[in-house]
Amino acid sequence: MNAAAATHQHTNCLRCGRTLRNPSPDGYGPKCRTKVRKAPVDLADYKAHQVASARELIEDGAIIPLRSVVFIAVSTDGTETYKTAPTACSCPAGVKGSRCYHQLAARMLLAA
């Protein structure tokens, strides 16, 4: 877990907005967490390490909904944040037009 996520206290579920009754490291209630993990996303375009990084980002609570399809993603070292959507991202890879794992995480969350 990265430092930025560890210090972030979630009081409401990031997906449905309901009050979290138990501490939640990723910011999801139990039902929403299950849905996010089983999100039907086509992973064929992504490498295994990108899929793992996207899942880790979600499980660290390091990708937070901003508005409609836009999310804020925290960089691995916790020092920067990126604006991420399913097909665009403001991270160094994303601005070059590469498919980054932030975009994948956004797709997973939207498909959940």
Binding site for Zn ion (CB under 5 A): 13, 15-16, 29, 32, 89, 91, 94, 100, 102
Shortest distance, CB of residue 31 to Zn ion, whole angstroms?
6
Neighbouring residues of 112: CB distance < 8 A, sequence distance ≥ 6: 15, 32, 35, 36, 38, 39
Shortest distance, CB of residue 84 to Zn ion, whole angstroms?
6
Axis crossing angle, helix 48-59 with helix 101-111, rounded to the nearest 10: 60
State which residue, 63 or 100, has the beta carbon closest to Zn ion: 100
Q: In 3D, which of 92, 54, 48, 50 has the Cα closest to residue 71?
A: 54
3-state helix, strand, coil in the chain (%, to 5): 35, 15, 50
State which residue, 6 or 18, has the beta carbon closest to Zn ion: 18
State which residue, 3 or 98, has the beta carbon closest to Zn ion: 98
- The widest CA-to-CA distance across the chain, in whole angstroms, is 41
State which residue, 63 or 89, has the beta carbon closest to Zn ion: 89
Shortest distance, CB of residue 111 to Zn ion, whole angstroms?
15
Shortest distance, CB of residue 36 to Zn ion, whole angstroms?
9
